[in-house]
A and B are shown apart, each in its own frame.
Chain A
């Protein structure tokens, strides 16, 4: 039995982690921590958690592994504290505010010989795994161009304003949603050779951004992320022989062949998953929890290690360093 603590009882803990860990075997949720003790108590009662506190150092003896669902700026410090206690750490994305923080966390993980995993759970989507194979095996010939569009009019039930402050959130849509999108992009296409980055922030955090990218192969494409627009939430790949569109958030993929004869779309199955998963949000937390717990038991790396997660943090960091002004064509003066 693995004893799991959850530090940070915001929306993601309530909607994702708690139901996920509650649903899998070999796990007991033994501790909840939140600076808002009432909030922690409320969830503690709901999930029958024995230890509830507002101070995470009080739970070291009661857990084997910890989920950190904290404001982004606290990720590094909290992760290192738990790693020093030789506790396995699953940390919400983005891994940390900077690549140097990520490196410090990875070093602490190696020194203490306990793994650190990051909640970039889209990699568990079978459709995303299939997309990676299509790209690796050049199933439809060479890639010619690509574009990633992800965004919704922002409506996540935030319970504090940390999300909208650069100091606490690290950034806006690129840092938050983009942690997933950029992870998918780098996982599928490799680290970009060059890029141009544009956003709409003026002293605050960006709500919209665009990244124009060139890959090592010379193929170019772009990414648009938004908190103000309802975009397709798909990555589109134009290959020599086909167009493949993969939903960035769901287990859905669509293929149009150049011959114009056939096209297919639907859910992807693999050995582990034999039922369609069209709304993956809760289920992905389960897949992530299972992989993480089995990796801690068998002491193997989970699918998304700290090293893997650091790549997107580094890229995002580079974007902010080389920021240009996003063209908002209707804005006359700026």
Chain B
């Protein structure tokens, strides 16, 4: 069975994974796509295609039902990072429930995008589908995803819902906010500190391999009700992972720290509050984001009118150079990242290989090469 010429409904369609899924489904499989979109402002990347955009939310069953009509498969990628953290668990479960019921009533196969984080942060050993699922309660993302998984599992066991649950590890590649844009931004604007001399294991997976697994999740027989951990099967160290970005940027901004040496160091605590605030506020990236808040636009305008003086010449002289990007931030891992970056645990993908026909095509060398081409295109460095 293949997915060519199918009709699919995608939640979280404007996100990093949903957008790439749509690109591949349309360009390589001639699929008809229904995209359920909560915020139309984010739809630029998917509006490049002739996809049907449904404005709505997974927590509204009618929205889900309308968007899913006439579709063969559902891919559930939505997660509301913007929601009140105390409500995310409930929202994730409500969304899962709506999707499960709609999929059941339409006899549609569904792929639920979960995360490796549901297994918590084991210090060592291997992570497989039979590892205990015990994320730290402070990791709202992981606990919400786990609750959604459990909802789907219940529907699968009791009602026979054909659902495939995917638990990818560190997904990087073009448009990845957490594992491409953020590391690059941090390395450009300050020092990034890694514990354990950077020797912790990074179970990474290139975005396109995740997409292949997703497609297999609906096309491969007998994987209903199953969950699969995903990585590219050839982990690298965190020093190698961040090191590639650092080399790409041509910056010496990665700091590999001996075990114990940065314990308890959080955020920008090595600089004064004023310095830290200045570094954030005058960071062009942050300014760009903040300046979209109307009130902030007025404040910046006000502040600038003071700082620029009042010379009545045609051109007002300030300085001879464009100020270089600020690079005095200190990025220490938070307690959760500390565990992630220190861990020696390796994700084993044997089950996905055997039962999902998962055959990763991108090792880190190949994946990061494409990622760098993307970053160059983004003009992160002057090329």
Using a CB–CB distance below 8 Å, which chain A residues touch chain B?
A: 15, 130, 149, 152, 154-158, 160-161, 163-165, 172-173, 200-207, 227-232, 245, 253-256, 262-270, 274-279, 281-282, 328-334
A156 to B40, CA, bound (A): 9
Contacts of A173 in B (CB 8 A): 44
Complex: how many Å from CA A275 to CA B378?
35
Q: Residue of A at shortest CB range from B299?
A: A279
Nearest CB of chain B from residue A326's CB, rounded to whole Å? 10
- The CA-CA distance from A165 to B40 in the complex, in Å, is 12
Q: Verify B315–A207 contact, CB threshold 8 A.
A: no
Q: Which of A156, A264, A278 contacts B315 (CB 8 A)?
A: A264
CB-CB nearest in chain A for B319: A265
Q: A254-B322, A266-B315, A334-B27 are in contact. Are A201 and B41 (CB under 8 A)?
A: no
Q: Is the CB–CB distance between A266 and B27 below 8 Å? A: no
Determine if A204 and B308 form an interchain contact, defined as CB atoms under 8 angstroms apart: no
Given A207-B48, A227-B44, decide whether A328 and B314 contact each other with a Cβ distance below 8 A: no
Partner of A276, one of B23, B28, B48, B316: B316
Q: Judge whether A265 and B53 touch: CB under 8 Å.
A: no
Q: Which residues of A contact B316 (CB under 8 A)?
A: 264, 266-269, 276
Give the residues from 362 to 383 in chain B that come closer than 8 angstroms, CB to CB, to chain A. 370-371, 373-374, 376-379
- Residues in B117-147 with C-beta less than 8 Å from chain A: none
Chain A to chain B: the 7 pairs with minimum beta-carbon distance, closest first: A266-B316, A203-B50, A164-B47, A227-B44, A279-B301, A329-B373, A263-B320
Query: Which residues in chain B, 15-69, are within 8 Å of chain A measured between CB atoms?
Result: 23-24, 26-28, 40-51, 53, 55
Q: Quick one: which of B298, B301, B304, B377 contacts A328, CB cutoff 8 A? A: B377
Question: Out of B23, B26, B301, B308, which one reaches A331, CB within 8 Å?
Answer: B23
- Please state if A263 and B47 are interface contacts (CB–CB under 8 Å): no
Question: Which residues of chain A are near B208, meaning CB under 8 Å?
Answer: 332
B residues with CB within 8 A of A: 23-24, 26-28, 40-51, 53, 55, 173-175, 208, 285, 288, 291-292, 294, 297-298, 300-301, 304-305, 308, 310, 312-322, 370-371, 373-374, 376-379
**B379 and A229 contacting across the interface, CB-CB below 8 Å:** yes
Q: How far is the CA of A118 from the CA of B378 in the complex (A)?
A: 32
Interchain CB contact under 8 A, B49 and A202: yes
- Per the bound structure, the CA–CA distance linking A276 and B304 in Å amounts to 8
The answer for the CA separation of A270 and B316 in the assembled complex, in Å, is 12
Look across to chain B and name the residue whose beta carbon is closest to the beta carbon of A255. B315
A314 to chain B, nearest CB (A): 24
Given A161-B55, A254-B322, A276-B305, decide whether A156 and B41 contact each other with a Cβ distance below 8 A. yes
Pick 27 A–B contacts, CB within 8 A, sort by A.
A152-B288, A154-B41, A154-B42, A154-B44, A158-B40, A172-B48, A202-B48, A203-B26, A203-B50, A204-B50, A205-B47, A207-B48, A229-B378, A230-B378, A231-B379, A263-B321, A264-B315, A264-B316, A264-B320, A269-B316, A270-B314, A274-B312, A276-B310, A278-B300, A278-B304, A329-B377, A330-B374
Contact of B305 among A130, A201, A278, A329 (CB under 8 A): A278
CA distance A160 to B55 in the complex (A): 9
Cβ distance A107 to chain B, nearest Cβ, rounded Å: 33
A119, chain B: closest CB distance, angstroms = 19
Selected from B294, B304, B310, the residue in CB contact (under 8 A) with A15 is: B294
Q: Which residue of A lies closest to B28 (CB)?
A: A333
B226 CB to nearest A CB, Å: 28
A228 touches B305 (CB 8 A): no
Closest to A152 in B: B288
Give Cα distance in the complex from A274 to B353, angstroms: 69
Contact among A15, A229, A330 with B371 in the assembled complex (CB-CB below 8 Å): A330
Which of B47, B376, B379 has the most A CB atoms < 10 Å from its CB? B47
Chain A residues near B40: list those with CB within 8 A: 158, 160-161, 163-164
Q: Which residue of A lies closest to B304 (CB)?
A: A278
* Inter-chain contacts of B47 with A (CB < 8 A): 163-165, 172, 204-205, 207
Q: Is the CB of B27 within 8 A of A204?
A: no
Question: Which of A160, A268, A333 interacts with B314 by CB under 8 Å?
Answer: A268
Complex alpha-carbon distance, A130 and B378, angstroms: 30
B315 touches A253 (CB 8 A): yes
Contact A206 B377 (CB under 8 A): no
C-alpha gap A37/B371 in the complex (Å): 47
- A269 CB contacts on chain B under 8 angstroms: 312-314, 316
In the complex, which residues of chain A have a beta carbon less than 8 angstroms from the beta carbon of B298? Answer: 279
Whole-angstrom CA separation of A266 from B173 in the bound complex: 37
On whether the beta carbons of B304 and A279 are closer than 8 Å, the reply is yes
Q: Who on chain A is nearest to B361 by CB?
A: A332
- Chain B residues lying within 8 Å of A245, measured Cβ to Cβ, are 322
Provide the bound-state CA to CA distance between A155 and B46, in Å: 14
Task: Select one of B312, B319, B370 contacting A330, CB under 8 A.
Answer: B370
Return A245 CB to nearest CB of chain B, in Å.
8
Quick check: A202 and B55 within 8 Å, CB to CB?
Answer: no
Nearest chain B CB to A159 CB, angstrom units: 8
Of B26, B51, B300, B320, which one neighbours A262 at CB under 8 angstroms? B320
Q: Supply 10 further A-B pairs (C-beta < 8 A) apart from A201-B48, A264-B320, A329-B374.
A: A155-B41, A164-B40, A207-B48, A230-B285, A232-B379, A275-B310, A328-B377, A329-B373, A330-B377, A333-B27
* Given known contacts A202-B48, A204-B51, A275-B305, A266 and B318 CB-to-CB distance under 8 angstroms: yes
Of all chain A residues, the one with the shortest Cβ separation from B207 is A330
**Contact A203–B49 (Cβ < 8 Å):** yes
Contact indicator B377/A266 (Cβ below 8 Å):
no
- Chain B's closest residue to A263 (CB) is B320
Chain A residues with Cβ below 8 Å from B379 are: 149, 229, 231-232
Q: Are B297 and A279 in contact (CB under 8 A)?
A: yes
Assembled-state Cα–Cα distance A254/B46 (Å) = 36
Residues of B within 8 A of A282 (CB): 297
Given A279-B291, A279-B300, decide whether A207 and B377 contact each other with a Cβ distance below 8 A: no
Q: Are B320 and A207 in contact (CB under 8 A)?
A: no
B300 touches A158 (CB 8 A): no
Query: Do the beta carbons of A202 and B26 come within 8 Å of each other?
Result: yes
**CA distance in complex: A158, B40 (Å):** 7
- Nearest A-chain residue to B369, judged by Cβ: A330
Known: A172-B48, A202-B27. A161 touches B43 (CB 8 A): yes
User: Which A residues lie within 8 Å of B42 (CB)?
Assistant: 154-155
